[in-house]
Amino acid sequence: MRTKLIFLTVLLSSCSYLHVPALSPYKMEIRQGNLITAEMRDKLKLGMTKAQVRYVLGTPMISDAFHGNRWDYAYRLAQQGELVEKKHLAVYFEGDNLARVEEDGKQLQMKPLVDPAPTVSEPAENAVATQTTAKTDPAAEVLSSVQAWVAAWSSKNVREYLGAYTPDFAPQNMSHDAWEKQRMDRISKPKVIEVTLNNTNVSVQDDSHATVSFMQSYRSDAYRDEVEKTLHMVKQGDRWLIAEERAGKKTGK
């Protein structure tokens, strides 16, 4: 035993003399919060609804019940125990519409959702055509309705969620009343629900019929799955509503 201790002492002394670096424990790379890329940020437009902003940026990490008109997206990256990257994006709303965006405390210059009226040099008839096209794009209206449906589902707002469907909507082999009762139960039970859509495709058949297909990711505190889904939309009055909902291949966890 004494010989081993002497050998270890000599070995440590040699390492110090030869400037061999001391071993240190491995520290994992830690990412926290919402990573907002430049591409995601550039999709923001003044005038967007809260549902549209949530669709672009996701659910904010910081939510203050007393300041509902401000959403905060914070991100931190730590490597080897040291903070190497820190970002903060704050979005502000007036009512339901995006009013301004700040990144790391500096206000960003944002484009409006609808282009402003053209200058006097542009012919008036072109100005009217441009504004009419921007305000009556059916594909954009359909997508906005779907985004509002997703936002209502994620926020567990049962009234707005059910309001996204036609009054006579009913899945196969189930009455409308039974379906409503089932959806109310499934939305109210989980503590947290988060729904996101990917690969969204909108196809407008005519002025009152459209189809939306996407990959839907659902996550709650008790269950998660991914499913291919198609919504058949109809326009009733000035609203696009879900008339039929079809689910394809599904993977659950």
Q: Tens digit of pLDDT for each residue in 225-247?
A: 999 999 999 999 989 999 999 98
The reply to whether 243 falls in a domain is yes
Q: Per-residue pLDDT for 31 more than 80?
A: no
Same domain (yes/no): 248, 142: yes
Question: Is residue 89 assigned to a domain?
Answer: yes
Q: Which structural domain range is residue 72 located in? A: 26-124
The per-residue pLDDT for 15 is: 52
Q: d(Cα 139, Cα 49) in Å, to the nearest integer?
A: 16
What CATH number should be reported for the domain holding residue 143? 3.10.450.50
Q: What was the pLDDT predicted at 116?
A: 45
Grade residue 110 by pLDDT with cuts at 50, 70 and 90: confident
More confident residue, 188 or 64: 188
- Shared domain check, 71 and 94: yes
pLDDT tens-digit series, residues 141-194: 999 999 999 999 999 899 999 999 999 998 888 898 999 999 999 999 999 999
Lowest mean pLDDT among 30-39, 44-53, 152-161, 220-229: 30-39
Residue 213 falls inside a structural domain:
yes
Of 124, 153, 180, the domain-final residue: 124
Secondary structure percentages of the chain, helix, strand, coil, to 5 = 30, 40, 30
Closest CA to 143 of 96, 213, 194: 213
- Asked whether residue 131 is assigned to any structural domain, the reply reads no
pTM > 0.85:
no
The pLDDT of residue 228: 94
For residues 90 and 150, membership in a common domain is answered with: no
Same domain for 76 and 177, yes or no, is: no
Same-domain check for residues 151 and 251: yes
Q: Is 1 inside a domain boundary?
A: no
Quote the mean pLDDT of the chain. 80
How far CA 223 is from CA of 61, 138, 147, 205, in Å, comes to: 20, 34, 22, 35
Residue 4 is assigned to a structural domain of this protein: no
In the prediction, which pLDDT does 36 show?
Answer: 85
154 and 252 in a single domain? The answer is yes
